[in-house]
Structure 1
Amino acid sequence: MNQNPSSTRSSSTPLASSFERYLQDKGKGRGGDGGNYRRNAERELDRFAEWAAGDRGPDDWTGIVPDDVDREPTVEDLDERVFREYARHLAGDLGLKQNTVQTYYRYISAWCGWCVNEGYLKAHYAQRASAMAPLPEDDGRKPGDQQAWTSEQRHAITRHVDERARDAVEAYTTLPEDTGTIDKQRARYEALKTARDRALVFVLAYTAVRVGELLRDPNDPRRRGVRWEDLSLEDGSMDVYRKKQQWDAASLPDPVISPLRSYRKLMDPPTERWPVFPTFDQRTLAVLVQEELADRGERPAAIDERREEYARDLLLVLDEDIRPPSMTTDGARSVLQRLSETAEIDIDHPKHDYLAPHGGRRGMGEVLVRAFGYTMAARYLDNSEEMVRERYSHIEAGELGDVATEALEEVDI
């Protein structure tokens, strides 16, 4: 006779035992193992568990288990006072910004609500007013989600990467005939890297595609990064796996086509299944080459000799059609940090001292809303019109301010 799963769920269940089921329910992909939400929620649940066990917090904090009991924290130890103490811990002990406190608490609150639905808890203690009282007020903004590239910044970064790519390609294509093989390879590698960086910046600046839709996310196997087979430069479109969990076509406006076309010609990928933006990380490519050539029957000594023929492993994977992984979203941030610094772009933002990937999307949203209104911008951004109106409400507020000014002038107040 099968046991009812709910009968195994009780108030004596250790906290950690409930976490895995919750994370599987919230995760993406096969088995619920992927997704950014799962990764972030797991991090905060682990912190909550450490705090509950007395391993985090002030020196005099001993955890939520009674002092005379020797066991790990369980669901039966939870009540609204526990969540109130944790809210106070987040708000006062860690020096976090108010929106970050709210974000971290929401992960714990969501798990608490799940525990109620699954029969672990009788009430959603985390959402009670007394539990949430120590939390700072939320000003409605998401931390780190407010940067938008200005027109000046967009022009500065695209001009910078264009000049770098043009110089590197010209240096490679005009090498003297007697240039040594390794020197030619170094020049080709530099040309490929600058051309890739230029194409990436132009795509982020003008398409408004989310960086997670464009590149590989190690936490979500479905987001493997766009491949050349996903692009149609003739039609000006690109297939991406959208945030709404389905494939959809994104537009490639005119400014993006030329950088992509010249980059593709220079790279000449062995197959259409190659990533558009492969990683250039030397350690990753070194391991990939060694493993792939070993699988093809090459001995270690022969592999070493083969690698020594190339200035960079990237050039070897191109010649041998060893398909590399796509650059990751973190990799794109590193690229933009480097380029923002070399371009000496003036950036005034409380969180980012570089042009962050999401800022390109948000900056393009500003352009679209001002030029064509919220409805058209929502279609291009793959968002609801309601969300676009909320995120770009400052534009409408400014326009209404102009109307008010004009009205005052009309009545001559």
Structure 2
Amino acid sequence: MDRNTPTERTPLTSLSESFERYLQDKGKGRGGDGGNYRRNAARELERFAEWAAGDRGGDDWTGIVPDDVDREPIFEDLDERVFREYARYLAGDRGLKQNTVQTYYRYISAWCGWCVNEGYLEAHYAQRASAMAPLPEDDGRKPGDQQAWTSEQRHTLTRYVDERARDAVEAYTTLPQDTDPLDKQRARYAALKAARDRALVFVLAYTAVRVGELLRDPNDPRRRGVRWEDLSIEDGSMDVYRKKQQWDAASLPDPVISPLRSYRQLMDPATERWPVFPTFDQRTLAGLVREELAERGERPEAITERREEYARDLLLALDGDIRPPSITTDGARSILQRLSKEGEVDIVHPKHDYLAPHGGRRGMGEVLVRAFGYTVAARYLDNSEEMVRERYSHIEAGELGDVATEALDEVDHLGK
């Protein structure tokens, strides 16, 4: 086969020939032709290709191809000096904010890493220190530092966990009557875990409750995680221990009600003092079950036999009213990392490659400020209006910009 054909991955391959393969790998849906990430990455790859060919970068920039060669850029032309020059080009665009420059560069860097894995490049030149040196430093004031779930991200994640829970619950509830007991227990456990994850995601996505108010903090005994006795599903409220060191009621909006009600019915906790979001960590539950049954006077042999009757210690804990601890805030982050990856959520952020818990709260703040203003948002977020105005100042700035534009248009119209 001719080594210059498109199917051959060589340094002589043109850059553009790799773009479609990369975008298909990163895209969503059948054929990899959907998703925000693909759309944004395609835009930045096109910008990079135009710059590499000399069509961007100013009159003095002729591209990365040697002047005495007439062809489009190929992989053989790439090295860390090229990416350093591109970083300098992006950083020199005064119309781009610091976080935007870094975001745009990350798209190209991700493509570069993919090219290494695919055999187009020998090294990840874009990640070398000399290549990244021209990029602006993090000055602590960039809006991108604070993640906020976008509407599309929220929809993607909630839709994924909802479908996952529905499938798991259906698989459990439609088992034949003659199913082996342990197999039935495994199906119930899978349904419980999926239902718990769905309820957690919906609560984080729509209530704007701080994750530290919702789950257990090992360093603060007052924050033991919400229990079923703290919830009033019918009234749409939940008692939480607020950041201001007192108990207060938080709202449970309509999207949260059904996942919580379905989850509680499936769990059927022995008492209302059970945590809403118990840990499913096997090592923790195994130790807890052994310790509790021993305190109840059961001998080690009997404890072993009883545990062997259950596919998972969580199910034994449910039947035996052995109350497990709530998951921790770190546990919630691990769950969201797993679900963000499984749900293929498009995420481009300088600090998080997953939907972090605090981003759900901040995302709801964005929605509330835009829809109802700062006063209502402050009440829902359990913050002062001054703090909410400060944290979401970019919204007001954008609105004022629109007002200024309208004013200028009006003046121009009157002047004609």
| Corresponding residue for residue 398 of structure 1 | 398
CA offsets, 1:300-332, max 9 Å, x none? 111111111111000000000000000100000
Alignment deviations for residues 241-298 of structure 1 (CA, whole Å, 9 cap, x no partner): 0000000000000000000000000000000000000000000000000000000011
Q: Is the aligned partner of 1:370 residue 2:373?
A: no
**Which residue number in structure 2 is paired with residue 54 of structure 1?**
none
TM-score by length of 2: 0.65
Letter in 2 for 1:402: D
Tell me the number of residue pairs that the alignment of Structure 1 and Structure 2 aligns: 277
1:402-413 matched pairs, under 5 angstroms: 402-412=402-412
Aligned residue for 1:222, secondary structure, equals strand
Please tell me whether the aligned partners of residues 145 and 358 of structure 1 are also in contact (alpha carbons under 8 angstroms). Answer: no
Partner of 1:343 in structure 2? 343
Deviation at 1:376, TM superposition (A): 0.4
Q: Contact 1:198–1:259 at 8 Å: present in 2 too? A: yes
The match for 2:214 is 214
Partner SS, residue 217 of structure 2 = coil
How far apart in 1 are the matches of 2:199 and 2:145? 23
Give the match's secondary structure for 2:216: coil
- Following superposition, the deviation at residue 228 of structure 1 comes to 0.3
Alignment of 1:111-130 (within 5 A): none
Letter in 1 for 2:222: R
Is 1:168 paired with 2:168?
yes
Corresponding residue for 1:231?
Answer: 231
**Does residue 1:331 correspond to 2:331, yes or no?**
yes
Q: Secondary structure at the match of 2:337?
A: helix
Matches of 1:349 and 1:139, distance apart in 2: 14
Give distance in 1, aligned partners of 2:270 and 2:303: 21
Residue in 2 that maps onto 1:177: 177
Question: Per-residue displacement from partner, 1:137-172 (whole Å, max 9, x unpaired)?
Answer: 954469x96000000000000000000000000000
Matches of 1:378 and 1:233 in 2, distance apart? 23
Distance in 2 between residues matched to 1:185 and 1:376, nearest whole Å: 46
Tell me the residue number matched to 1:67: none
- 1:57-96, aligned counterparts within 5 Å? none
Distance, in Å, in 1 between the alignment partners of 2:140 and 2:310 is 54
The aligned counterpart of 1:196 is 196
Q: Partner residue of 2:359?
A: 359
Residues 221-260 of structure 1 correspond to what in structure 2 (within 5 A)?
A: 221-260=221-260
In 2, the alpha carbon distance for the partners of 1:246 and 1:140 equals: 31
SS in structure 2 of the partner of residue 248 of structure 1: strand
Distance 2:312 2:348 in 1: 37
Query: Sequence identity, in percent?
Result: 87
The separation in 1 between residues aligned to 2:188 and 2:263, in whole angstroms, is 12
Q: Deviations over 1:92-146 (max 9, x none)?
A: xxxxxxxxxxxxxxxxxxxxxxxxxxxxxxxxxxxxxxxxxxxx9954469x960
1:300–1:137 Cα change, 3 Å:
closer
Equivalent residue for 2:322? 322
Q: In structure 1, how many angstroms separate the alpha carbons of the residues matched to 2:333 and 2:357?
A: 7
Cα distance in structure 2, aligned partners of 1:364 and 1:210: 12
Following the alignment from structure 1 to structure 2, what is the Cα–Cα distance between the partners of residues 189 and 407?
61
Partner of 1:273: helix, strand, or coil? coil
TM-score scaled to structure 1, two decimals? 0.66
Q: Counterpart of 2:194 in 1: which secondary structure?
A: helix
Counterpart amino acid of residue 331 in structure 2 = G
Separation in 2, partners of 1:402, 1:147 = 24
C-alpha distance in 2 between matches for 1:141 and 1:305 = 58
Change (3 A) 1:155 1:247: same
Q: Deviations over 1:165-191 (max 9, x none)?
A: 000000000001111000000000000
Q: CA RMSD in A?
A: 1.4
* 1:120 alignment partner in structure 2: none
- Structure 1's unaligned 5+ residue stretches are 1-135
For 1:131, the equivalent position in structure 2 comes to none
The corresponding residue for 2:3 is none
1:214/1:226 contact within 8 Å kept: yes
- Does the 8 A contact of 1:230 with 1:239 survive in 2? yes
* Distance in 2 (alpha carbons) for counterparts of 1:345 and 1:255: 20
Matched with 1:389 is: 389
Residues 145 and 350 in structure 2, CA contact (< 8 A), matched pair in contact too? no
- Distance (whole Å) between structure 2 residues aligned to residue 241 and residue 178 of structure 1: 46
| 8 A contact 2:145–2:351 mirrored in 1 | no
Query: Displacement of 1:404 after TM fit?
Result: 1.0
After TM superposition, the structure 1 = structure 2 runs for residues 30-49 of structure 1, keeping only pairs within 5 Å, are: none
- Tell me the residue number matched to 2:64: none
User: SS of the counterpart of 1:239?
Assistant: strand
Amino acid at match of 2:370: R
Distance 1:154 1:270 in 2: 33
